[in-house]
């Protein structure tokens, strides 16, 4: 059977009709996330590309029981639209969970359910950013956040990082030099892509700057509960709830197929984010919300977290050992204490975008550093995600990557 377009004959080019905003995103590397997701199903290469949780952590058997019960006994809620801010019963559960884990409980109107972490960032960008508004991000940072803010034509400013996370002293200099951002986006715990965390003593300083200069902190806690030792420093939201929106996701600790997260922040801001959500997908799916609530109230989430931390800690250790064994001199990397990532700097003169093709030929994949920067840095960096690589493939994958880097070094 011929497909419908072939039968129609003509194939018009729609690119000229795309909105300027959409074309700008493509020009600025919007295809990067799509390319990472496209590798999700690849089986013939060892891929350190996507920040994917390991399916071993997906609670399939428990969820099958919960889903069956919900459909049989709670269809009027679980199969219905949800309130835009999320089901009340799930918000109650989440508020209690935040109180237990972060020592602060969101009050009425200070918490909403989102469709994953990226949804919260998009809602924040849509709500706060007019074209040309300054937004400060860590350099490097999560590339989905760069795309969300760029999608609203933010003027992005990167603040460098060191072993203690965001260089708060540099941020302070930028602010005293006249920069007036509306938003600071930060991932304080086991950051994507570096694996680094914001030192506890810098957190109060960030909060102080937000108060003094009147910007909103957007704190992305995607990996905060995945510290290998099970501890976490105070969240920025719990330190400074009047100037912070916390963006959380259940993608890494429950499962990403459900698309659920949360936003906690000042009531006035959450109300405006809720209006923005009404204007996009209207609500997160009720079935997933009820499944998460039942799963969490049953104690499964906390139990699974213990197992997930152990799994990722083991993978991180295997990765660190493999890097030490196989990387050529002049290569450095971060040693993660949680999360999914290690950030590698290759010897001078090697470009990790160009290197990716040679790596693919050796059947190993990573994400080059450049797209993680708001500017033009990152040519010598690459991100490795160990989260979904089987234990027995980590050493082999890193050995192949080491060979590819050595080869590029010889060709310099
Ligand atoms: C720091 C960070 N924030 C947010 C997200 C997106 O989360 P979600 O898949 O729930 O939209 C990711 C996913 O990679 C991430 O690394």
Q: Would the CB of 220 count as within 6 Å of ligand 1?
A: yes
Q: What average pLDDT score do residues 250-272 get?
A: 98
Does 56 score more than 80 pLDDT? yes
Chain position carrying tokens 């989260």: 387
Tell me which of 11 and 46 has the higher pLDDT: 46
Tell me which of 37 and 245 has the higher pLDDT: 245
Q: Would the CB of 295 count as within 6 Å of ligand 1?
A: no
Does 104 score more than 80 pLDDT? yes
- Of 10-24, 154-168, 285-299, 374-388, give the lowest mean pLDDT range: 10-24
Q: Would the CB of 144 count as within 6 Å of ligand 1?
A: yes
Task: Read off the pLDDT of residues 119-143 as tens digits, 9 standing for 90 and up.
Answer: 999 999 999 999 999 999 999 999 9
Q: Would the CB of 251 count as within 6 Å of ligand 1?
A: yes
Q: Give the pLDDT score at 39.
A: 59
Task: Read off the pLDDT of residues 22-52 as tens digits, 9 standing for 90 and up.
Answer: 887 777 665 665 665 565 566 789 999 999 9
Nearest to 341 by CA among 312, 362, 364, 321: 312
Q: Would the CB of 256 count as within 6 Å of ligand 1?
A: yes
Chain position carrying tokens 């219905």: 80
Q: How far is the CA of 249 from the centre of ligand 1 (A)?
A: 7
- Residue 199 sits at the vertex; the CA angle it makes with 198 and 202, to the nearest 5 degrees, is 90
Q: At 2, is the pLDDT very low, low, confident or very high (cuts 50, 70, 90)? A: low
Nearest to 274 by CA among 79, 127, 156: 127
Q: Would the CB of 240 count as within 6 Å of ligand 1?
A: no
Task: Read off the pLDDT of residues 291-313 as tens digits, 9 standing for 90 and up.
Answer: 999 999 999 999 999 999 999 99
- Give me the percent of the chain exceeding a pLDDT of 90: 88
- Asked if residue 21 lies in contact with residue 153, where contact means CB atoms within 8 angstroms, the answer is yes
Task: Read off the pLDDT of residues 190-208 as tens digits, 9 standing for 90 and up.
Answer: 999 999 999 999 999 999 9
Which residues fall within 8 angstroms of residue 402, CB to CB, at 6 or more apart? Answer: 326, 327, 328
**Mean pLDDT computed over every residue of the chain:** 94
Global pTM reads 0.95
Q: Give the pLDDT score at 235.
A: 98
Nearest to 233 by CA among 186, 296, 295: 186
Q: How far is the CA of 118 from the centre of ligand 1 (A)?
A: 6
Q: Give the pLDDT score at 307.
A: 98
Chain position carrying tokens 């330190």: 239
Q: Which of 120, 192, 196 to mutate to test the pocket of ligand 1 (most atoms within 8 A of CB)?
A: 192
- Asked if residue 345 lies in contact with residue 330, where contact means CB atoms within 8 angstroms, the answer is no
- Atom index in ligand 1 nearest the CA of residue 260 equals 10
Q: Give the pLDDT score at 151.
A: 94
Which residues fall within 8 angstroms of residue 87, CB to CB, at 6 or more apart? Answer: 77, 113, 286, 289, 290, 293
Q: Give the pLDDT score at 275.
A: 98
Q: How far is the CA of 313 from the centre of ligand 1 (A)?
A: 19
Q: Which of 39, 149, 222 to mutate to test the pocket of ligand 1 (most atoms within 8 A of CB)?
A: 222
In whole angstroms, give the CA distance from residue 395 to residue 340.
16
CB atoms under 10 Å from CB of 242, counted, come to 11
Q: Give the pLDDT score at 34.
A: 62
Q: What average pLDDT score do residues 277-291 get?
A: 97
Q: How far is the CA of 116 from the centre of ligand 1 (A)?
A: 7
Q: What average pLDDT score do residues 343-349 get?
A: 97
Q: Give the pLDDT score at 10.
A: 75
Does 218 score more than 80 pLDDT? yes
Q: Give the pLDDT score at 259.
A: 97
- Asked if residue 219 lies in contact with residue 188, where contact means CB atoms within 8 angstroms, the answer is yes
Q: At 1, is the pLDDT very low, low, confident or very high (cuts 50, 70, 90)? A: low
Q: Would the CB of 248 count as within 6 Å of ligand 1?
A: no
């Amino acid at each position: 059977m011929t497909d419908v377009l072939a039968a129609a004959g003509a194939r018009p080019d729609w690119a000229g009709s795309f909105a300027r905003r959409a074309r700008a995103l493509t020009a600025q590397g919007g295809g990067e996330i799509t390319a990472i997701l496209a590798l999700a199903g690849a089986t013939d290469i060892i891929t350190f590309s996507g920040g994917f949780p390991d399916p071993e952590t997906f609670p399939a058997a428990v969820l099958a029981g919960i889903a069956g019960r919900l459909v049989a006994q709670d269809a009027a809620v679980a199969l219905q639209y949800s309130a835009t801010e999320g089901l009340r019963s799930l918000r109650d559960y989440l508020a209690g969970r935040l109180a237990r884990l972060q020592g602060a409980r969101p009050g009425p109107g200070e918490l909403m359910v989102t469709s994953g972490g990226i949804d919260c960032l998009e809602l924040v960008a849509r709500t706060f950013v007019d074209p040309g508004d300054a937004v400060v991000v860590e350099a490097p940072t999560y590339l989905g956040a760069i795309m969300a803010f760029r999608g609203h034509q933010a003027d992005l400013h990167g603040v460098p990082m060191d072993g203690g996370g965001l260089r708060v002293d540099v941020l302070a200099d930028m602010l005293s030099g006249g920069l007036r951002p509306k938003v600071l986006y930060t991932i304080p715990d086991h950051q994507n892509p570096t694996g680094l965390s914001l030192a506890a003593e810098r957190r109060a300083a960030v909060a102080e700057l937000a108060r003094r200069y009147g910007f909103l902190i957007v704190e992305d806690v995607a990996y905060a509960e995945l510290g290998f030792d099970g501890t976490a420093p105070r969240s920025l939201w719990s330190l400074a709830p009047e100037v912070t929106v916390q963006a959380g996701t259940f993608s890494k600790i429950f499962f990403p197929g459900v698309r659920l997260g949360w936003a906690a922040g000042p009531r006035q801001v959450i109300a405006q984010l809720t209006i923005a959500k009404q204007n996009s997908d209207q609500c997160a799916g009720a079935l997933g919300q009820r499944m998460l609530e039942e799963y969490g109230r049953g104690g499964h989430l906390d139990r699974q977290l213990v197992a997930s931390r152990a799994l990722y800690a083991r993978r991180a250790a295997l990765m660190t050992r493999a890097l030490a064994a196989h990387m050529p001199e002049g290569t450095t990397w971060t040693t993660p204490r949680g999360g999914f990532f290690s950030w590698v700097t290759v010897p001078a003169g090697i470009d990790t975008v160009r290197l990716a093709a040679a790596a693919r030929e050796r059947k190993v994949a990573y994400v080059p550093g450049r797209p993680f920067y708001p500017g033009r840095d990152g040519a010598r960096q690459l991100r490795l995600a160990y989260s979904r690589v089987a234990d027995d493939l980590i050493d082999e994958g890193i050995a192949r990557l080491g060979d590819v880097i050595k080869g590029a070094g010889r060709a310099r």
